[in-house]
Chains A and B, each alone.
Chain A
């Protein structure tokens, strides 16, 4: 074929650059905006932690810690939705399972932070495998509704299980001591625990950022865009989806493991639909497929909810309206737009398409 297909286009090719180089350049531009946003996020979080820690504040630090924990759940929603194109309406299930596992470990086995992390990873992987094997058979909206049903059922079972505290949940979870060898803190130290959680979230975030650039991450995008073609290339979309599902459930479960350390209790409500939708709203606010977006979204949502709860008793209405505004006017979310602007700028600089 003609070495230059440019009959169809007026765009001059950037001199000498190979397609791969140009493809990379474009991807870098897309990510640049997000990377700056993530640096701002984590730097801001550290500054906040230091400032409020010095101030001796409790409430806001603990609220921010909670926002980070829920942010991880939103991240897990983003892995499924933004990468594999699967909308999970039951992500709180894995959060809840991690939380229950953490609570039981702390109460009955050992007051060890590391053991809780290990167990919640294990619980996340196992429950993700089981849930995933069921859910990934379904596609599109069926997937959404299956995950929804799965979470409902398990929450109900726990609600009915006396050994797990039934509807009352589990209280009286001891305050753990978190030790990194060189530094240690207790879960009831607002600033200390904030930094512990921040570190965990940062590790998760960086891990996902790395994954998004690997062939695995790209294959997930392939599943999202055209699952049907994947097997003809030699991929197994079911395996890829399962891997994404397990990854997401594990992250949600880790976040769950942190929760009882912060709040000292667990209850079936942690797995309810509301909790799952909050994670989705946070993801949508921040921007699906952006990874850092859900963390922003979670912070915004948690603080917003904390505020409107005081102002009005119609928070449901406010959240509902927020939902609709985001979906209609900002379907790409905060960072989605940021990315778009940056990309558009770079496009106009290069001269654009035909």
Chain B
């Protein structure tokens, strides 16, 4: 029994945790863009993929991994700004802009996906693990890179949360999200705030892309493969809630880890979905409501 706890359950939960942080990192950009701009960004997965491919290209051209980690989010900023200015903004005044932006970004994701495949080919790529090896604690093996991810991820999440809830910049962003005209009349440069927010969400996706590339590999369909779980996390947590995304991300990956152990991995997806349905039944707005509602 103790053996089981030590060699099976504990590593399982730890792995679940590392994976959870990874997913939260991805969900973070998604939830911010929704919470602040009211846009379901279906191309978020492709932004994630673009980040990963950008990383692969940088590494292949001899850039150091850590430099690439710093560069990729910066490279993603213009992608985000352009997407917001050229596309999302076009339908922003429409009454059903929820639907329209969803469909718009869906279309964009198709183009990005196909474009990535055209440029990089359909085969998977993978950058080398920058910190191979690991440490063994009480018979449990902890890969170094995953430990690093846990800490970096947690730091990023905390920083994002603080910016949005604890700074006046955050209040400005949230105000612009709720009422464009009024915020603008109070002097908030709404148009710039929107672009910046979208770009920020995009940069987060790209960052997640390169950070996860050594573990999960890089391939054209990676975007929509990861987006499903990211959406589940965001829905359960409450669209637009950072707290919710973190909690749901960690919770769901733990459930997944443990369910795959004691039931069967086959059932993990239906179980996650079942949780999503249950949460929505009792709290249609997710565990936590929209950004800003606490």
Contacts and interface: CB of A to CB of B under 8 A. Distances in A.
Contacts of A138: 280, 284
B235 A145 contact: yes
Contacts of B232: 149
Contacts of B103: 280, 284, 323, 327
A323 B104 contact: yes
B91 A156 contact: no
B114 A314 contact: yes
B259 interface: no
A144 B40 contact: yes
Contacts, number: 101
A109 interface: no
B102 A87 contact: yes
A222 to B, nearest CB: 15
Interface in A1-38: none
Interface residues of A, number: 36
Helix, strand, loop or mixed for chain A's interface? helix
A331 B100 contact: yes
B129 interface: no
Interface in B164-178: none
B109 interface: yes
Helix, strand, loop or mixed for chain B's interface? helix
Interface residues of B, number: 39
Contacts of B276: 146, 149
B109 A320 contact: yes
Contacts of B109: 320
B118 A314 contact: yes
Interface in A306-345: 314, 316-317, 319-324, 327-328, 331
22 contacts: A137-B284, A139-B284, A141-B40, A141-B239, A142-B239, A142-B280, A149-B228, A149-B232, A149-B273, A150-B273, A152-B273, A153-B273, A156-B269, A156-B270, A319-B107, A320-B107, A320-B109, A320-B111, A321-B107, A327-B91, A327-B104, A328-B87
Which 9 pairs from chain A and chain B are nearest by CB?
A320-B110, A323-B107, A317-B114, A324-B107, A320-B111, A316-B114, A320-B107, A327-B104, A328-B90
Interface of A: 81, 85, 87, 134, 137-142, 144-146, 148-150, 152-153, 156-157, 160, 277, 280, 284, 314, 316-317, 319-324, 327-328, 331
Interface of B: 34, 40, 87, 90-91, 94, 96, 98-100, 102-104, 106-111, 113-115, 118, 228, 231-232, 235, 239, 266, 269-270, 273, 276-277, 280-281, 284-286
